[in-house]
Structure 1
Amino acid sequence: MSTENELFSAVDALLEQVAQDDLPTPAERKRLREAAGLSQAQIATALDARREAVGNWEAGRTEPRPPKRAAYARLLEGLAARYPAPAADAPAAAPALVVPEAFTGPAPEPTPAVPAAAVPSSRPKTEAAGTTRPSATSRRPGAKKAAAKKAAAGPVDPRFENGPLAVIDCEDGQVSAYCVGGLVLDVPAKTIPALIDWTLTEARLGQARLHRNGRDADPILVLTAAALERFGLPVVLSEEERHASRLPESHKVVKQITRAGLQMSQRGFGPWARVYRDPEGSRRRCVQLCILPWNALDAREWDKKDNPQLPTMHPADLVQYLGLYAARVITPRGTTATTGLELMTALRPPTRAEKDPATGEFKRAFNDDALTQLYPVVECEVPDEHPVLKGKFARHHLRTPAEMLMEEPYDWCRPLTDDECVNPYLVVVDLNMSFAAAANGLTVGLNGPTHLTGNPQFDPALPGSWLVDLSHVDLSRVRINGRTVDGDRLPSPFTPKGDRPTGPAWYATPTVAYAVELGFDVAPIEAYVRTQTGRYLDSWYKRLRDAYVHTMADMGVTTDLGGQEFLDAMARRKQVDPTMGLLENAIKATAKGAIGKLRQRSRGQVPYYEPYPALDRWTWRPDIRAAVLATQRTGLHRKLMKTAAAADLYPVAIGTDAIVYPSPGPSPLDVLPHTEEGKPVPGTFRLGVSPGMVKWQGTQTVLWAEQLFEERGGVVNVSNLIKTDQSAGEGE
């Protein structure tokens, strides 16, 4: 027996020796793992290694050492046999989907391409005989040429080779599907059910999942007014239909859908209609219709609200705009708020497939870093109409800070002092994507609340709500870099109106932690905290940050600009590419709306104190919204304090993230403090494009403000009344 062991040991030694030079390249190691749907943690467990070690092997920073090297080589060899690399001399594939350079979606699942003969009706239109594939620009008369974009690195998933969505239009009786990259497909369908089936079987539309445990995005069809007429749908909804936000079940198109065996969601056939067939195994068969004339793309989010462009935009330009949004953010799912919330779950899926070791069957398992279920709510965290408050307050009772968590953005202003009135101007600077920036690195609770009573000790590591008295915090006693500030000219960091607290109140963890940071003792009375924590919003923030920064760069506003160069680039950016201007606004609306959606209110859907649909979502988490808003407000206040200490400069008004300063000149460069070398003072507001930095919102005269105060009989918050042409329509 010992002889056999010795032989095996000798063989293992030879395997290890061979493995020294037999490992695939780092990139190939990662490709094989992802093709098999394995995580770095799973490989680390199998090899008795650390997950970080596997990541280093795939990045090429380190190499595995014996005996793990031989085992790793054997694993990669087995994976390579199952998932071979594409042959270098394979026939040329269809042109890659033209998407922005910033696209960083996951590697697509290996799926065999559908033979061209199988999709005759989806043949792209051509200008001349013999042309077989479209160019990367629109080929329809009257359409603007799409801006040239670099193709995304890596292979295109053949299941979605025509992009995430299409705009369906009709011209001279011919229905066409305008796809990303200039591709135009003939659509043979004459009814909505036929259009759905064509999309599911031939169109090759959709988007690969953003996380390996998530799901692929359903294809989106944007219907123009001409397409609605062609398919027998009204271009304008009746008053009753608008109120119901759907067609009645008696409408002929709805009946066609039912007769064809298709199904719709409970929302029915409205501006965002979801039509589907039963899944084939684990494969979804669903198409979402975005009906443009029914205000599916609200001008306040997706368009210029004062001068809407989308209704008259050519389909080739419209699909370019929405395709860029899908590539950089996610395929649109409805409002920008709904889409932003969907992005959270797409990047942090609640569940995954896990093999049962006993049966070998796959079952659903929950992910530790995600929101996975509904938990009991906390009275102080919910809005006034929530069912949990029924019978506890009068119908129009205004809850006090000791009864309700009031973490909201700033809405504060004060009179100018005599010295400040000497300045001729009021300059407004605005924080870029302030709510998204506040989510970066924020630890939030992932499980249900734990009630702490009996004067618990404050723990900044526990997200939640704390009942504590912060009325003793005096900003004039705070020293920053050896200097004190004038607390009377600064808002309190603990209330949205900037008033100093008068007694115990509920605060989110970041607010209480800021009081401790300022050097004051805190003594909570009680608390509701979450013990399972994580940085749930990190990947969400990073994707939106990258989308925003790359979009701004496309308009000439890059991260290396500073001072006057940055201001000049911001002033001309929307003239560079109007489509990118729309995309900028949509990205910002996505970030802001998603945070608000975490505590969506009923908006009159049901009577007071009755359950409404949003409460059934796992992502209905008012405590997370409160934590983000608390972080945004206290982070802004931290910069106010450092600016006051560095330059004796104090704001006179703040509206959400717009800060008004008296200034000797009309430019932000005239007021924001700089060092002797010309650089921004550390910790103060800094001009720049990245989230959390500031841009110029506008300038007005002090005389204008004084006249406004006189007309309205008191001090008015002028922060969001001061805008210039270059910043109009901005905000969060």
Structure 2
Amino acid sequence: MEDDHTAELFADVDALLAQVAQPLPPADERERLRKNSGLTRQQIATALRTSADLVEAWETGLVEPSGTQRAAYVRLLQGLLTQDRARSKAISSPTAGPRVPDQAPASPTTAPAPAPAPIRAVTPVPAARATSARTESTTVAGDDFPAGPLAVLAFTDALTAHLADGTTRECPAATIVEVLHWALDAGVGQPALATFGRAADPLIVLTPSANDYLGLPPELADRAGLRLAADHPWCAAIIADGWKFTHSGFGPWARIYQPAQGRQRRSVQLAVIAWGALSTGGWNPPSDLTAGQLARWLGTYAERVLTPRGSTAVCGQELMTSLRPPTRPVRDGSRWKAGTNSGALWHPIAPAPPEAHDAHPLAQGRHPADAMDEEAWDWHRPLTADEAAYPHVVGLDINLAFVAAAGSLDVGLNTPPEHVIRPWFDKKSPGAWYCDLTHIAHDPRLPSPFTPTGEPPNGPAWYATPTLAYAVELGATIHPVEAYLRRDPGRYLDPWYKRLREAYLATMNDLGVTTDMSQSDFLNAMSTLPQQDPYLLSLLAAIKATGKGGIGKLRAGPRDPHRAPFEAWPALNTPTWRPDIRAAVISRARVNMHRKMLKTAEHTGRYPLAVLSDCALYPAQQPTALDAVPHGPDPTGVQGTFRLGASPGFAKEEGVQTMTWYEHLHSEGANPARYIKHAGTS
């Protein structure tokens, strides 16, 4: 439930959205209006409670105001424009001489014709033709991007662009090169998600019919590299027209760009369905969607998460950067330059030796015991005599467990890890700690919170900060032997968690599942979820895959099968390759779940039988999750325990089976938590 502060903030936001109904005028117009009124930048800065430097940045278009400042700035400029027009009318009155028009006439001088392009010129884009607008579409095109975030191209009698708002436009392109120009001219794109961020590239999705019309091959011959050969005629034509490819080339997802013109970014994202763009990588929209329905499906994802630009894992990683842009404009004397943005990741950082991936150059010659092993649980145990008498076993699965663990988590930002001997433990210091936890008492009915196997540690090991902080919470005295610490903590993933949380809850709400439901009502609603709209179910799955995949990308391994052992790979050169952050997220998710297990045991006397990642199995008298979770005066459950509900961090029923089923799998050495979801009901 939202607290009073959040409700107040939401009310302010609603009021702000209502106020910001007009777009800002062009940057040069902002400066003209100010000068015509005789105001200085400092006067405007004082009124808007900001700096004159930032006002100058608004007037040059280097930075766009946001929030309440944007609303106030729009109001000011509208007032200045009204006064400016009044002055013009006064000048144009009969007593004041000839009338001066509101807009200056076009210059009679004819601009020189541009040089012919290597590929034939693009036909002018016709006006939009609205067809079959659907009321269920929630994607709204912005003033800067009137066509919305993306277009799905399909060919019947003509090449048609299906937009996210349910409308269509003719696409006059006859070649893939012309499609690129059309994408930039048609107003396709999405505004930046954060201050100092950049707008999303237009996404053009090519259906198989569009592929055929444009002359692209129906499938990729290079099944290993998944890209067109660099000497393919269409690659050559694109390059001849002044475009470039990223290192991934022209594949299912391709970013094709031209050198920027001033501050204007010229880049287009292509997704080729026939080459597998939407059938792999976490995407699985219903196969029977029409081009228009697919545009709305992708548009809803774009509105709630971001414009797709690769696999869902890639989108999860890109969302981090979009919400925490690495740079911002800063004043350097009389000019502006790119500076670092507070709270973001600015540059690649080498991991501490225990944090390094097994394939990393730093892992060469490393003993396995010297590697940090912060991973999710895979644990199961034999039944006690009392537990064997229960007829059922119930799976409880945590909603967005790892995404929720990322919220408000302090991680290292941009300072390389500092090696410290005999450090004093500080739970506010992100890092890797070498410590002996074997002296901590272990209840065999619970998985150990310190190891992914759930077995108690058998010697000193490397741990992330949340794991050691939990040991202290349990009452243990710890003495780290050494550590690699990061001295610049920040909550880098907090906006990432919040955006995915809202996307998840909005989609659950569309499916009829809300956060204010009682545990029993939630369970009833979830029991009918598989029969709900496949359109929404696949969207929900894509959102969940975005969170999970984004965390995985923080420690992405090498993909080149010809790479030499311990040779660096491209992902290491990105600021978001941060295995330390991934370790901290998984560590926190694991201890969060252990804390729920302890609290649940206090209320019910029951302990988990098996755990796999974020799913725990409990004994039950009745074949329902309601039998396994605590109940109290609050219909949404008991705080701190496993609670059934839609919110991230709450649980849902993963499956129900007989205790005989559990005993059989356990005796075979298999983890029953791995199979309960698809095993059917008892």
TM range, smaller chain: 0.7 to 0.9
Give the letter for the 1:163 counterpart: G
1:663 and 1:671 in contact (8 A); partners too: yes
What number of residue pairs does the alignment pair up?
Answer: 602
Give the letter for the 1:157 counterpart: G
Q: 1:119 to 1:246 in 2, by over 3 A?
A: closer
Q: Return the match for 1:588 from 537, 540, 544.
A: 544
Residue of structure 2 equivalent to 1:361 = 335
Q: 1:725 to 1:570 in 2, by over 3 A?
A: farther
- 3-state SS of paired residue (1:527): strand
Cα distance per residue 1:288-317 (max 9 Å; x no partner):
11011211124461117xxxx33x421111
Q: 1:298 to 1:73 in 2, by over 3 A?
A: closer
- C-alpha displacement at 1:610, in angstroms? 0.4
Give the letter for the 1:283 counterpart: Q
- C-alpha displacement at 1:488, in angstroms? 1.4
TM-score, normalised with respect to structure 1:
0.77
Residue of structure 2 equivalent to 1:114 = none
User: How many Å separate the matches in 2 of 1:331 and 1:444?
Assistant: 27
TM-score, normalised with respect to structure 2:
0.82
- C-alpha displacement at 1:149, in angstroms? 4.2
Q: Return the match for 2:451 from 495, 519, 529.
A: 495
Residue of structure 1 equivalent to 2:170 = 186
Q: Return the match for 1:543 from 483, 499, 508.
A: 499
Give the letter for the 1:186 counterpart: E
1:177 aligned onto 2:161: yes
Equivalent residue runs for 1:549-560 within 5 Å: 549-560=505-516
Q: Return the match for 1:237 from 220, 227, 248.
A: 220
Q: Return the match for 1:448 from 415, 424, 430.
A: 415
- 3-state SS of paired residue (1:253): helix
User: How many Å separate the matches in 2 of 1:531 and 1:571?
Assistant: 47
Give the letter for the 2:190 counterpart: Q
Q: 1:76 to 1:276 in 2, by over 3 A?
A: closer
1:570 and 1:726 in contact (8 A); partners too: no
- C-alpha displacement at 1:120, in angstroms? 5.6
- C-alpha displacement at 1:260, in angstroms? 2.1
1:513 aligned onto 2:501: no
Q: 1:440 to 1:74 in 2, by over 3 A?
A: closer
Give the letter for the 1:322 counterpart: L
Indicate the RMSD between aligned Cα atoms, in angstroms: 3.2
Q: Return the match for 1:722 from 666, 676, 680.
A: 676
Q: 1:508 to 1:250 in 2, by over 3 A?
A: same
- 3-state SS of paired residue (2:144): helix
1:608 aligned onto 2:562: no
Residue of structure 1 equivalent to 2:97 = none
Give the letter for the 2:189 counterpart: G
Residue of structure 2 equivalent to 1:327 = 303
- Unpaired segments of 5 or more residues in structure 2? 1-14, 31-40, 53-66, 86-121
- C-alpha displacement at 1:347, in angstroms? 0.6
Give the letter for the 1:123 counterpart: A
User: How many Å separate the matches in 1 of 2:82 and 2:224?
Assistant: 55
Residue of structure 1 equivalent to 2:35 = none
User: How many Å separate the matches in 1 of 2:487 and 2:20?
Assistant: 34
Q: 1:725 to 1:328 in 2, by over 3 A?
A: farther
Residue of structure 2 equivalent to 1:642 = 599
Residue of structure 1 equivalent to 2:581 = 624
1:421 aligned onto 2:397: no
1:699 and 1:724 in contact (8 A); partners too: no
- C-alpha displacement at 1:504, in angstroms? 1.0
Q: Return the match for 2:324 from 333, 341, 348.
A: 348
- C-alpha displacement at 1:673, in angstroms? 1.5
Q: 1:122 to 1:690 in 2, by over 3 A?
A: farther
- C-alpha displacement at 1:585, in angstroms? 0.3
Residue of structure 2 equivalent to 1:522 = 478
Cα distance per residue 1:295-348 (max 9 Å; x no partner):
1124461117xxxx33x4211111111000000000011011111111111111
2:417 and 2:431 in contact (8 A); partners too: no
Cα distance per residue 1:576-605 (max 9 Å; x no partner):
321110110000000001011111111345
Q: Return the match for 2:196 from 213, 229, 232.
A: 213
- C-alpha displacement at 1:268, in angstroms? 1.3
Give the letter for the 2:301 counterpart: Y
Q: 1:150 to 1:164 in 2, by over 3 A?
A: closer
Residue of structure 1 equivalent to 2:136 = 148
Cα distance per residue 1:72-128 (max 9 Å; x no partner):
99999865566889x9xxxxxxxxxxxxxxxxxxxxxxxxxxxxxx99643344xxx
1:574 and 1:580 in contact (8 A); partners too: no
- C-alpha displacement at 1:32, in angstroms? 10
2:139 and 2:165 in contact (8 A); partners too: no
Give the letter for the 2:303 counterpart: A
User: How many Å separate the matches in 2 of 1:78 and 1:303?
Assistant: 47
Q: Return the match for 2:621 from 640, 664, 674.
A: 664
User: How many Å separate the matches in 2 of 1:222 and 1:30?
Assistant: 32
- C-alpha displacement at 1:516, in angstroms? 0.5
Q: 1:369 to 1:292 in 2, by over 3 A?
A: same
- C-alpha displacement at 1:607, in angstroms? 2.1
1:571 and 1:726 in contact (8 A); partners too: no
Q: 1:489 to 1:383 in 2, by over 3 A?
A: same
2:351 and 2:417 in contact (8 A); partners too: no
User: How many Å separate the matches in 1 of 2:202 and 2:80?
Assistant: 29
Q: Return the match for 1:272 from 250, 253, 256.
A: 253
- C-alpha displacement at 1:708, in angstroms? 2.9
1:449 and 1:528 in contact (8 A); partners too: no
User: How many Å separate the matches in 2 of 1:84 and 1:699?
Assistant: 68
User: How many Å separate the matches in 1 of 2:490 and 2:515?
Assistant: 29
2:255 and 2:268 in contact (8 A); partners too: yes
Residue of structure 2 equivalent to 1:474 = 441
1:162 and 1:183 in contact (8 A); partners too: no
Cα distance per residue 1:472-492 (max 9 Å; x no partner):
1114xxxxxxxxxxx110011
Q: 1:425 to 1:468 in 2, by over 3 A?
A: same
1:675 aligned onto 2:632: yes
- 3-state SS of paired residue (1:284): strand
User: How many Å separate the matches in 2 of 1:41 and 1:251?
Assistant: 58
- C-alpha displacement at 1:59, in angstroms? 7.0
- 3-state SS of paired residue (1:354): strand
Q: 1:267 to 1:77 in 2, by over 3 A?
A: closer
Residue of structure 2 equivalent to 1:123 = 127
User: How many Å separate the matches in 2 of 1:233 and 1:342?
Assistant: 28
1:33 and 1:79 in contact (8 A); partners too: no
Residue of structure 1 equivalent to 2:355 = 381
1:166 and 1:319 in contact (8 A); partners too: yes
Give the letter for the 1:195 counterpart: V
Q: 1:222 to 1:442 in 2, by over 3 A?
A: same
